[in-house]
Structures are given as C-alpha cells and as structure tokens.
Amino acid sequence: MKRIAFAARLLVAALVAGLAIVPMKAGAAGVYENAAAEPAFLLSPRRIALRADLDFSRRDPTEASIYRIGAAFPLRSAFMVGLEQPFVSVSDSSGIESGIGDLLLRASAAVHRGHGWSISLLAFLASGTGSDTYFPFSSQTLDVSLSLACADTVGAATLYATAGRTWVNRERSGVPEDERQTDNWRGSAGVRVDVGPHAVVRGGALYLDFNGDPHRAILYAGTGFDATASVSLGVDIQTEVGPASQRVSDWAATAGVTILF
C-alpha cells in the first residue's frame, strides 16, 4: 500500500510541476519531441516489434509531417534496443522542404525488478545523421541522453516516472541562438490503463529544462488497441503549455501501427 501511495504522489507531483513552470526566456528551445514515444518504449512488451508512425505537428505558420519507421529487439529478459528513422516534410510561408531526419537509437536495461514494479536505465542517441537541418524537427546534432525510470503496476494501471539528462554535441556553427539544441534536464511521468484485454488508454507529461533558462512542458494522451494478436494500432495527441513563443509546436498528433513477433 505504501508503494502505491508513493507512486501516485510521484506522478501527481511531476504533472503539477510541468503545468506550474513559467518559461523565463522567449524563443523556443530544443527540437520536436514525441512525448509518448519514450514511455511506449519503456513499457513495451519484451518482443521483437516493427513500427510505423505518422506525426503531424503545427506551430503557426509552420506545419510538419514526420514519417517514422522503427524496430525494437529484446536482448535476453533485461535489455531492449530500438531504432527510429524519421523522414521530415516541413511547410511554411516560404514553401515546402523535405528530407531524411536524424536516426534515433534507444536502449533500456532493467536494474531491479519486483512483483509488478521495476527500476530501469533508459538511454537514447540522436545521431544527427539527417540530410539537412529541418529545425526544430531535425537538428543534425549528436544528442546523448541517460535517464533513470521506474514503473509500477497496480491492478489495470501502470504508473511510470523518469528523470535524466541530455548532452548535446556537434552543434553546427552559424545557427541562430533561438535555433539551437542545448543540454537539458528531462523528466516525465504518466499512466497507462488497460481497458479490457485488447485496449489501453494513456497519458502523461514531459518536462524539459534547458541551459540558459528556457523550459518546456508537453502533455499527451492517447489510446491503443490490438487489431489482431500481433498487430496494434494507436493514436496520441500532445500539446505544449506555456507562452506561444516558447513552444516548438502548439499541438501534434500521431497515428501508428506496431507489428509484434
């Protein structure tokens, strides 16, 4: 019972903190974040998976479509690795640009597991291999992130929380100050609830604290269901809170399909 109460307090505190933070500096910081992607990887079943997603993001007057294909592979029972390759199309008042985005590599390792709960290490590497800088949807920087994550299953609900640091390397010269990806602290919390044997609902918040005082908070919610025993469909929406000048996108929506093996 104490474990359930602690997990609930941790989730509420993280969500309140994300909503309460007031950005201190004008100008968007960082790159586009799919807030649901990291918890989906953390809570995914330890099975080989192929995934395809379409993200649509809007921040007037810019619209972007990000097509992502990816795969995840379990290594024994404690490790998971994954990769995501995006293809970016950005349109604004000056026209349309498109190209290959930055390849993203993910990994997780279970540090300690108990009955219904786990503590894990989460990491990702944004390789910066994109064909061009479609900022803020592809930055060509080399980002390395490491987080500590905990998850606790209580009945049909699974609560999670993460906290970590991202280090940004290989910043391109000549990039304007408001178009830079910088080192940042990151934290997230949320919940996934099983609705019957074949459907889930989910929601949470991602908070980013950048060097130089910019802050971002992203809220997301979504649902998924099993179309067959090996095919899952999902939809997520997200919105950034805070002044418009601070956001990378006002809102975004994602639709995806996952095939499990």
Backbone angles phi, psi at 86, to 5 degrees: -95, 155
Structural domains in the chain (count) = 1
Domain extent for 231: 2-260
pTM of the model: 0.85
The predicted pLDDT at position 26 comes to: 37
The CATH number of the domain where 111 resides is what? 2.40.160.40
> Using an 8 Å Cβ cutoff, are 23 and 239 in contact?
no
pLDDT, tens digit only, all 261 positions of the chain: 445 444 444 444 444 444 333 333 335 678 899 999 999 999 999 999 999 999 999 998 899 999 999 999 999 888 999 999 999 999 988 889 999 999 999 999 999 999 889 999 999 999 988 877 788 888 888 999 999 999 999 999 999 999 999 999 876 656 666 667 789 999 999 999 999 899 999 999 999 998 767 889 999 999 999 999 999 999 999 999 966 777 889 999 999 999 999
The predicted pLDDT at position 17 comes to: 42
The predicted pLDDT at position 16 comes to: 40
